[in-house]
Amino acid sequence: MNHGLRRRLPVALAAVIVLGFLGLFFAWPVAAIVGLGLRGEAGAVLVEPSTWRLVGFTLGQAAASTAVALLAGLPLAYVLARLAVPGRGLLRVAVTVPFVLPTIVVGMAFRALFGADAGVLAIVLANAFFNVAVVARTVSGLWSHLDRRMEDAARSLGASRLRAFTSVTLPALLPALGSAASVVFLFSATSFGVVLVLGGGELRTLETEIYLRTVQLLDLPGAAALSLLQLAAVVAALLVATVARRRRETALRLRAPSDTARRPQGAEWWVVGLAGLVLCGLGTPIVTLLLRSVSTRDGWGLAGYRALLGTGQNGTLEVTGLEAALNSVRTAVDATWMALLFGLLASFVLVAIRRRAVAESLDLALMLPLGVSAVTVGFGYLITLGSLPGDLRTSPLLVPFAQALVVTPLVIRMVLPVLRAIDERLRQAAATLGAGPWRVRREIDVPLAARTVLAAAGFGFVIALGEFGATGFLARPDAPTLPVAIARLLGRPGELNSQLAYAACTLLMIVTVLGVVLIERLRGRTDAVEEF
Amino acid sequence: MNRYLRWVAALAVASLTTGCSLIGSSGPEPAARTVTLVAHDSFVADPAVLADFERRSGIHLEVRNSGDAGELTNKLVLSRAAPLGDVAYGVDSTFASRALGAGVFAPHRSAAAERGPQRYAQDQEQRLTAIDVADVCLNIDTGWFAQHRVPEPATLRDLTDPRYRGLIALPDPTTSSPGLAFLLGTVAAFGDPGWQDYWRDLTANDVKLSAGWEEAYNQDFSGATGQGPRPIVLSYASSPAAEVDETGRPRTRALLDTCYRQVEYAGVLAGAKDPQAAGEVVDFLLSPEFQAQVPDQMYVYPAVDGVALPPGWAESAPLPQDPAELPAAEVERNRDRWVEQWRTLVRG
C-alpha cells in the first residue's frame, strides 16, 4: 500500500461513516417530510406578509439572544480561562446547569419573574440564560490554551490592557467566538418551548409555526414551506459565520492551561465582578425553581422530594422519578459516545480535507441539524425509518440517536478550533526529531486536544440530559427521561404532581452537576499528559 | 489505524462495557403475541390491570405514547403505510374524522360496545370504539369567591359580565387542545358566526391567554398549587378531584354548564400485524377492569354504562349532564377556518 493511500483511507472511511449517519438520520427524513409537503400548495405561504413577519421576528430575537449570551458569557469565559480565583471549578459547573433545565420549567420561571406580558424581552433573556454556558465553555476552551506572552509582549511595547486585548487576544479568540455565536444563534432561532410559553401563543417564530402546522393542523405544505424558509435562514447565518471564521482559524501558539492562569490583578477584578453579576442573573431563576420545589400550600415541605421515589399522584408516571433520572443518564451516555464518535470523526475529516470549499460545505452540513425543527425531523422519521429493517421508529436507540444529532455539531464546534489552531510547525519539528506520523499525532495533537475533547464530552452529556425537542417526540412511556417526566407531571392537575415536577428539576440539576464534576476531574488528570 | 480513530473506538467500547448504556441492557424477551398500543400522552393504566390482561390473554402489550390527540392522529395519518403499532387509543371526537377519512383504522366490533360506547359511534363500520369521555369545563376556585363575596359564575354568558373582569385564564385554542375544545364549545353554544360576538365580549372582559393548559392552570389559576391571581380557569370536569384539602374536600369546582365533550376512541389500525390480537386489546379497553380504573388513572369518565366512579367523584367531579358537542365531520370541515377567524378576532 502506498503512503498516500494509507493516509487517505482512514479519512475516507471516517467521512463515509459521518455522512452515512447524517444522511440516514437527518437528510433523508427531512427531505421526505418536506418533499411530502411540497406536493401540496406550499408556495401560498410564502406570499403571506405574516410569514415574513415570522422570519423577521425569528431572526431578530435569535440575534438579540446571541448578543446577550455573548456579552454575559465573555466575562465568565475570561475568569474560567485566565484567572486563578478560588471556586473556579465550581463556577464552571454552575454555568452549565441552566443548559439542562427543561424549557417549559424555565419558561414558567421567567414568566413568573417578568409577568406574563413581558414578551420579547423575556424570550431574549430566557434564550440567553440557556446559552451563556455555550459561550463560556466554547470560548474558555480555546482561551485557556492561548499563549499569554503575546499579550504581555504587546503590553511591554506600550499597548494599554484594552488595546492588547483587542489587537492580540480578541483576534485569536475569534474562531471560538464565531463558533459559539453560530451555535447560540441556531439554538435561539429554533428554541421552541421558550417561545411558546413566554410568547403566550401570540409571539411566534418559524419553529413554533412549523410545530403548529405539522402537529396540530397537519398542514404539511405550509410546514414544508416554512421549513425550507428556516433552512435558508439557517444556511445564510452559517455562511456568515463561515466567512467570519475563514481567515481566522490559523495556527496559534497553544500552551498548556496551567501556564496561562494567574491571580487577577488590577482591572481584572472588574471582570471578576461582572462574572459575579452574570452568575447572580443565572442563579435567580434557579433559586426560584429550588424554592418552588420546597413550597407547598401549607408552607415549606419536602413532599416533592419524597415523591421522587414514587410515580406521582395516582401514578401519573410509569416509572419513579429516580428511574427517570437513571433513564436520562443512560440515554445521555449513549448520546454522548455516539456524538463523540461522530463529532471526532467529523473533526478529523474536516482537518484532513485540504480543499477549503469542500471542508466548509461539509462543516456547514454537519451544523444543519441544529437549525432544522425537531418536529420536522421527528415526523420525517415516521415516514422513512419504517422502511428500514428492524423498525427503528420504535427502538429505544432512536432517542440517543436523535440527541447525538444535536450534540455532534457542538462537539465539532468545540474541538475543531483547537485542532486547527495547532501549529503545523510543532508537528514538523516533531517529525524532524524523528517521530513517525502516528507518534506526531500522539505527542502533539492528542495532548493539546484531549482537554477540549473531554470538555466537549461533558457538555455533550449535559445537552443530552436536558434535551427535550427530539426526546419529547421519541421517548417511550416506559422509559421517560427526566425532562419528559417533568413535562408530563406539569400537564396534570394535583399539588403532588407539580411539587414532584419541581423536585425532579432539582434532581436533574444534581445529576448535571455530578456529571460535570466527574468530567472536570477527568480533565484535571489530563494535566500530566500535557506536560510536553 | 489512525490515532484518533483508535481513541474514539476505545471510548465507544468503554462506554458500552460500563453497562450504563441502553444497548448493554436489553429487556426480557416479550411473549409470543405482542400488540403495540399507540396512545396519547395522557395514557396511564394500573400496572396490575395490565399485567392481569397479559397473563390471561397471552398477549404482551407494548404501549407507546405519541403526543396529544391531534399529534397522535397526525402521526397515524402520516405513518399509515407502515403503521406505528396495532391499536391506537386517544384519537378524540375533534380529530376522528381526519383519521377515518385517511383510512387509518380497520373495522372491529366489541361486544361491550353495546353498553354505552355505541352512542358515540362515528361510523357504521365501528372503526372507532369510544373508550372514555372527558369534559372540558371552566373550573373555579370556590374559596376565592367565598372570600371576596363575589357570586360564582355558572354559564358561558356570565363570563362576559363585568363582575368577572380580569378573573379568567384560558389556554390559546391555536396552541392547546383544551383551548380548542373551549372554542368549539362556544361555537356549539352561540352558533356560527354568533361565537365571534361572544369572543369579542369575552376579550373585552380581560381574559388572560396562555399558550398551554400548563401555564393557565399551574401559574394563572388561584385554585391550583401555583396559587396564581385568577380564580377562573379552563380545565376538565374531573380536575377538582385532584385538588382536595386535608379533609378530602375539593378546593375547586367545575362549572357544569360550560362543558364541551371530548370522546376518546380506540381502534385497530389498518395493516396491524396481528389484527385478531389487536381486537382483543380493544375489547380489553372496554372490560370492567380497565374501565373502572380509568377515572383514577387518567381523570376521564368510563364510556361503558354502569361502571362505578371512584369514591368522592360524585361530589367533587360529577359528570356533566348536558355538555355541548359538535359532530366530528362538522369540526373537521370548519376547524381551520374557526381557528383562523379566532386568531384574527382576538389576536388582531
Is the domain of A391 the same as that of A457? yes
Q: From chain B, pick out residues whose CB is under 8 angstroms from the CB of A387.
A: 82
At residue A262, what are phi and psi to the nearest 5 degrees? -150, 170
CB atoms A493 and B220 under 8 Å: no
Could you tell me if A288 and A314 lie in one domain?
A: no
pLDDT in the model for residue B139: 97
pLDDT in tens, B117-137: 888 888 888 899 999 999 999
CB within 8 Å: A348 and B41: no
What distances in angstroms separate CA A175 from CA A65, A150, A412, A445, one per listed residue?
19, 18, 12, 18
In this predicted structure, what is the pLDDT of residue A169?
84
Residue B16 has pLDDT above 50, yes or no: no
Residue A46, domain member (yes or no): no
Residue B26: per-residue pLDDT: 44
pLDDT at B346 over 70: yes
Stronger pLDDT, A461 or B225, i.e. the higher one:
A461
- Most A CBs within 10 Å: which of B3, B62, B247, B313, as the mutation test of the A interface? B3
pLDDT (0 to 100) of residue A257 = 63
This prediction has a pTM of 0.86
Task: Say if A505 falls within a structural domain.
Answer: yes
pLDDT band, residue B209 (cuts 50/70/90): very high
CA distance A317 to chain B (A): 7
- Among B1, B215, B224, beta carbon nearest to A10: B1
Instruction: Say what the pLDDT of residue A259 is.
Output: 61
Which of A250, A276, A293 is the last residue in one of the domains? A293
Burial (CB count within 10 angstroms: exposed 0-12, middle 13-18, buried 19+), residue B3:
middle
Question: Cβ B225–A498 below 8 Å, yes or no?
Answer: yes
Give the mean pLDDT of B139-168.
96
Binned at pLDDT 50, 70 and 90, residue B325 comes out as very high
DSSP code at position A456: H
In sequence order, the 6+-apart residues with CB closer than 8 A to the CB of A412 are A343, A346, A347, A350, A363, A366, A367
The answer to whether the Cβ–Cβ distance between A212 and B175 falls below 8 Å is yes
CB contact under 8 A, B21 and A476: no
Contacts of B347 in chain A (CB under 8 A): 202
**Alpha-carbon gap, residue A222 to A42, rounded angstroms:** 5
The set of cell numbers assigned to B315 is 361530589
Identify the H or E element spanning A150. Answer: helix A148-156
Q: Is the pLDDT assigned to residue B299 strictly greater than 50?
A: yes
Residue A452's DSSP bridge partners are none
* CA triple A321-B316-A503, angle to 5 deg: 20
For residues B19 and A329, the answer to whether their CB atoms sit within 8 Å is no
DSSP A253-290: -B--GGGT-B---TTHHHHHHHHHHHHHHHHHHHHHHH
pLDDT at A252: 67
Rounded CA-CA distance B176/B60 in Å is 33
C-alpha A267/C-alpha B194 separation (Å) is 68
Give yes or no for a contact between A21 and A397, defined as CB atoms under 8 angstroms apart: no
Residue B164 has pLDDT above 80, yes or no: yes
Strands B301-302 and B252-254 turn out to be unpaired
Does the N-terminal peptide bond of residue A417 adopt cis geometry, omega within 30 degrees of 0? no
Residue A251 has what pLDDT? Answer: 59
Chain B (28-47) residues lying within 8 Å, Cβ to Cβ, of chain A: 36, 39, 41-44, 46-47
Q: Choosing among B78, B217, B249, B251, which should be mutated to test the A contact, i.e. which has the most A CBs within 10 A? A: B78
Tens digits of residue pLDDT in B63-73? 888 888 888 99
Q: How far apart are CA A98 and CA A234, in angstroms?
A: 24
Give yes or no: residues A156 and A177 share one domain.
yes
Up-side HSE of residue B155: CA atoms within 13 Å toward CB?
7
Which residue from A minimizes the CA distance to B44? Answer: A316
A61 found inside a domain: no
The pLDDT score that the predictor gives to residue A529 is: 33
A385 in a structural domain? yes
Distances (CA, A) of A237 to A44, A184, A234, A479, B27: 25, 11, 5, 37, 44
pLDDT at B134: 92
What ipTM score was computed for the predicted complex, to two decimals? Answer: 0.83
- The CA distance from A194 to A174, in Å, is 29
Tell me what the pLDDT averaged over chain B comes to: 88
- Alpha-helix residue ranges (DSSP H) falling in A295-320: 303-306
Residue type, A45: V
Contact B11 A488 (CB under 8 A): no
Q: Considering the domain boundaries, does residue A221 fall inside one? A: no
- Residues in CB range of B234: below 8 A, 6 or more apart: B136, B137, B138, B139, B169, B170, B171, B178, B179, B182, B213, B216
CB contacts of A397 in chain B (<8 Å) are 22-23
Residues 6 or more apart whose CB falls under 8 angstroms from that of A227 comprise A30, A33, A34, A37, A210, A372, A373, A376
Q: 3-state secondary structure string, A186-251?
A: HHHHCCCHHHHHHHCCCCCCHHHHHHHHHHHCCCHHHHHHHHHHHHHHHHHHHHHHHHHHHCCCCC
Instruction: Specify whether A248 is located in the same domain as A347.
Output: no
Claim to verify: residue A340 and residue A489 sit in the same structural domain: yes
Stated as kind and residue range, the H or E segment containing A366 is helix A356-367
Minimal Cα–Cα distance from A108 to chain B, Å? 7
Q: Is B5 in Cβ contact with A348 (below 8 Å)?
A: yes
Residue A171 sits in the same domain as residue A309: no
**Among A110, A80, A78, A106, residue whose Cα is nearest residue A93:** A80
What is the predicted pLDDT for the residue at B7? 56
Please check the confidence at residue B310 and state whether its pLDDT lies above 60: yes
How far apart CA A367 and CA A359 sit, in angstroms, is: 13
Closest CA to A115 of B174, B144, B208: B208
Nearest CA in chain A to B214: A491
* Entry field: residues in chain B: 348
DSSP state of B44: -
Q: What is the pLDDT of residue A458?
A: 86
Q: Tell me, yes or no, whether A271 and A320 share the same domain.
A: no
The set of residues, in sequence order, having a beta carbon less than 8 Å from that of A286 and lying 6+ positions away, is A97, A98, A101, A509
Q: Are residue A305 and residue A268 in the same domain, yes or no?
A: no
CA distance B203 to chain A (A): 14
Q: At what angle do helices A495-525 and A103-114 cross, to 10 degrees?
A: 110
CA atoms within 13 A on the CB side of A524: 9
Residue A226 inside a domain? The answer is no
B25 touches chain A (CB under 8 A): yes
Residues A89, A25 within the same domain:
no
| B219 close to A (CB below 8 A) | yes
The C-alpha cell that represents B276 in the structure block? 385478531
Same domain membership, residue A151 and residue A82: yes
Which structural domains are found in chain B, ordered by start? 3-134+262-316 (3.40.190.10), 137-257+320-347 (3.40.190.10)
Distance, CA of B324 to CA of B313 (rounded, Å): 21
| Shared domain check, A132 and A242 | yes
CA-based nearest distance B134→chain A, Å = 14
Residues of chain B contacting A328 with CB distance shorter than 8 Å: none
Decide if A55 is inside a domain.
no
Average pLDDT over residues B190-209: 95
Q: Select the residue of A212, A317, A387 nearest B174 (Cβ to Cβ).
A: A212
Would A305 be classed as within a structural domain? Answer: yes
User: Residue A350: which CATH number?
Assistant: 1.10.3720.10
Of A215, A217, A336, the CB nearest to B336: A217
Please give the C-alpha separations between residue B147 and each of A56, A347, B152, B154, B158, in angstroms, as whole numbers: 47, 65, 11, 18, 19
pLDDT value at residue A88: 81
Residue A359 falls in which region: left (phi positive, over 0), alpha (psi -120 to 50) or beta: alpha
Instruction: Compute the distance between CA of residue A324 and CA of residue A335 in angstroms, rounded to an integer.
Output: 16
B297 and A314 in contact by Cβ < 8 A?
Answer: yes
Domain C-terminal end among A293, A310, A341:
A293
Q: Does residue B19 register a pLDDT over 60? A: no
Residue A525, H or E segment: helix A495-525
pLDDT in tens, chain A (532 residues): 455 666 678 888 989 999 998 999 899 999 999 999 998 888 888 888 889 999 999 999 999 999 999 999 999 999 988 888 888 878 888 888 888 788 888 888 898 888 767 789 999 999 999 999 989 988 887 888 777 788 888 888 888 888 888 888 888 888 888 888 988 999 899 888 889 889 887 889 999 999 988 888 888 999 999 999 999 988 988 888 787 766 555 556 677 665 667 788 777 888 899 999 999 999 998 998 888 888 877 778 888 888 888 877 767 777 888 889 999 999 999 999 999 999 999 998 998 888 888 888 898 999 898 888 888 988 898 888 887 777 777 777 888 888 898 899 889 988 887 888 777 777 778 888 887 777 777 777 777 778 788 888 888 898 888 887 777 777 766 778 888 888 888 888 888 888 889 999 999 888 888 888 887 777 765 543 332 2
Asked whether the beta carbons of residue A386 and residue B225 sit closer than 8 angstroms, the reply is no
* Inter-chain touch B3–A315, beta carbons under 8 Å: no
**Measured between CA atoms, how close is B246 to chain A, in angstroms?**
10
Domain end (from A269, A293, A317): A293
Q: Which residues pair with B92 in a beta bridge?
A: B264
pLDDT for the residue A342: 92
- Distance of residue A478 Cα from the nearest chain B Cα, in angstroms: 8
Sign of CA dihedral A349, A365, A22, A103: positive
Task: Return all residues near A14 (Cβ < 8 A) that are at least 6 apart.
Answer: A345, A346, A348, A349, B5
Please report the pLDDT score of residue B323 as a whole number. Answer: 94
What is the rounded distance in angstroms from the CA atom of residue B246 to the CA atom of residue A418? 60
- In chain B, the residue whose alpha carbon lies closest to the alpha carbon of A490 is B214
User: Same domain, yes or no, for A18 and A80?
Assistant: no
- DSSP H or E segment with residue B236: strand B232-236
- Higher-pLDDT residue of B6 and A6 is A6
Domain total in chain A: 2
Distance between A431 CA and the closest CA of chain B, angstroms: 16
Residue ranges making up the domain that contains A502 = 1-29+301-532
- The confidence score (pLDDT) of residue B127 equals 94
8 Å CB contact of B242 and A313: yes
pLDDT at B11: 53
Asked whether the beta carbons of residue A477 and residue B11 sit closer than 8 angstroms, the reply is no
Q: In sequence order, which residues have a C-beta less than 8 Å from that of residue A255 and are 6 or more positions away?
A: A145, A146, A147, A148
User: Containing H/E element for B170?
Assistant: strand B168-171
pLDDT exceeds 70 at position B326: yes
Nearest CB to B208: which of A116, A315, A400? A116
Q: Which residue has the higher pLDDT, B231 or A414?
A: B231
